[in-house]
Amino acid sequence: MLRTELTEMLGIQHPIVQAGMGPWNTEALAVASANAGALGIVSTSGLAYKMSPPTALEKKEALASTSPYDLLRMTLDWVGERTAEAGGIFGVNIPLAQEFRELTESMIQATSDARNEHSDLADRLKVIVTAAGDPIPWTAPIKESGALWFHVAPSVKHALKGQMAGADVIIASGREGGGHVSFQPVHSMVLLPAVVSAVDLPVVAAGGFCDGGTLVSALAMGAIGVQMGTRFIATQESDFVQVWKDKILDADELGSVVGISVFGPARYLKNKVSLRLHELLNRGFEAGYEEGLDLEGKGIQLSMEGKDTDMTIFFGGEAAGRISEVPTVAELLRDVSSEAERVIERLPGCIASESP
Ligand SMILES: Cc1cc2nc3c(=O)[nH]c(=O)nc-3n(C[C@H](O)[C@H](O)[C@H](O)COP(=O)(O)O)c2cc1C
């Protein structure tokens, strides 16, 4: 069994965070991940922007008339109930976009109230992950929630900002990763050790991690664990549609591309629309923004409906090229951790006992 500062801090079995992947919902994935001994993460942006009805909402047509606060509260109860028996540990992912300040506030409040009103949830809803925005204005409400604060940083500068805001853990997110990425490309192999040496906080690695070998590489570079997104999409229990999982299996290492997205660049699986978003980004973010936003909005809607067209948006990272199976979450976690153990056991053999 692996033991790191992450497993100790959270009381989980595997040093693995299942990434938040809004605006798609990840509640089924969070349940499976938490129950199998990883940190499960509920994505909140689809609930906040009302893009996707949560599983807990019995009448889907009630989406428009239910507040984002209530959507998240019912989702946290839903995940809490299904993870109670196994004692699963989970958290929420909340983007900090300045344009949606009020929604961010209500997502943090819902998490805080869920923890304060249910002692069982306070023990198991342990983490707020924030991303895609300035963390400084959010210190007070996040600290008041009592949850641990993990902040996603795509550069050393952003990591230092997270530390200054009072985050407990930094997630260093390299350019290989699926979904939103930084304007300036820094990949995990350089970003992770740079962040580890720049901050005085524990660091989780994200972007390109998908198996035991890559997990060990993160630990070797000073991380306490990894966050995986693309790898978790292609699991049996994941909330993502089958066609998305198939696209990940079909992709090779060149199967993703960075293009324009609403809050900056994002990494997509390659198809007609993402290649167009890539062209638009090359033209310049401002110049391509209007067309990009329109294409992304329509493409996300198509993916929510499970429609596989040239214009459907599928976020995904370079790691898609390394994924060839759709295991259950428990099988995935068991395989990643046991492969990591085998790699670690093999490594002492790299030290020569005597000079040649
Ligand atoms: C479909 C998808 C949606 C994502 N949405 C979010 C999000 O809402 N918030 C966030 O912090 N990161 C988001 N990400 C990034 C992931 O949380 C994670 O950091 C990333 O997937 C790690 O890289 P990997 O895909 O190589 O594992 C998303 C990634 C994907 C693939």
Beta strands in the chain (DSSP E): 16-18, 40-43, 90-95, 125-131, 148-153, 169-173, 179-180, 203-206, 225-228, 256-261, 264-269
- Predicted confidence at residue 61, as pLDDT, reads 85
Tell me the C-alpha distance between 23 and 49, whole Å.
8
Q: Which atom number of ligand 1 is nearest to the Cα of residue 230?
A: 25
- Indicate if ligand 1 lies below 6 Å from the C-beta of 319: yes
Report pLDDT for 2: 96
Q: How far is the CA of 2 from the centre of ligand 1 (A)?
A: 24
Please, what are the averages of pLDDT over each run of 10 residues along the chain (356 residues)?
Answer: 97 98 96 98 92 88 91 96 97 90 94 92 95 93 97 96 98 97 93 98 98 98 98 97 96 96 93 96 88 94 92 97 98 98 95 79
CATH assignment of the domain containing 63: 3.20.20.70
Reduced to 3 states (helix: H, G, I; strand: E, B; else coil), residue 267 is: strand
User: pTM here?
Assistant: 0.96
91 in contact with ligand 1, CB cutoff 6 A: no
d(CA 250, CA 339) in angstroms, rounded, equals 23
CA 356 to chain centre: 46
Residue 315 located in a structural domain: no
CA 60 to centroid of ligand 1, rounded, Å: 25
For residue 48, is it within any domain?
yes
Query: What's the pLDDT at 132?
Result: 84
Task: Give the C-alpha distances (Å, rounded to integers) separating 27 from 76, 84, 128, 180, 250.
Answer: 9, 14, 15, 20, 25
Is residue 306 assigned to a domain?
no
Q: Is residue 161 part of a domain?
A: yes
For residue 206, report the distance from its CA to the centre of ligand 1, in Å.
9
Q: Which residues have a Cβ under 8 Å from the Cβ of 110 and sit 6 or more positions away?
A: 68, 69, 70, 72, 73, 76
Task: Decide if 128 is inside a domain.
Answer: yes
Question: The tokens of 28 are what?
Answer: 């089924």
Gap from CA of 266 to ligand 1 centroid (Å): 9
Residue nearest to atom 29 of ligand 1 (CA): 179
Per-residue pLDDT at 285? 86
Domain assignment present for residue 110? The answer is yes
- Which structural domain, as residue segments, surrounds residue 122? 5-239+323-334
Per-residue burial over 72-93, b = 16 or more CB atoms within 10 Å of its CB, e = otherwise: bbbbbebbbebbeeeebbbbbb
Specify the pairing of strand 264-269 against strand 179-180.
antiparallel
Residue 197 belongs to some domain of the structure? yes
How many H-runs (helices) and E-runs (strands) does the chain carry? 15, 11
227 within ligand 1 shell (Cβ under 6 A): yes
Give, for ligand 1, the residue of 100, 169, 230 to mutate: max count of ligand atoms closer than 8 Å to Cβ: 230
Report how many domains make up the chain: 1
Q: CA–CA distance from 249 to each of 29, 58, 235 (Å)?
A: 18, 32, 11
CA max distance for the chain: 74
Is residue 229 assigned to a domain?
Answer: yes
* Alpha carbons 205 and 226: distance in angstroms, whole number: 5
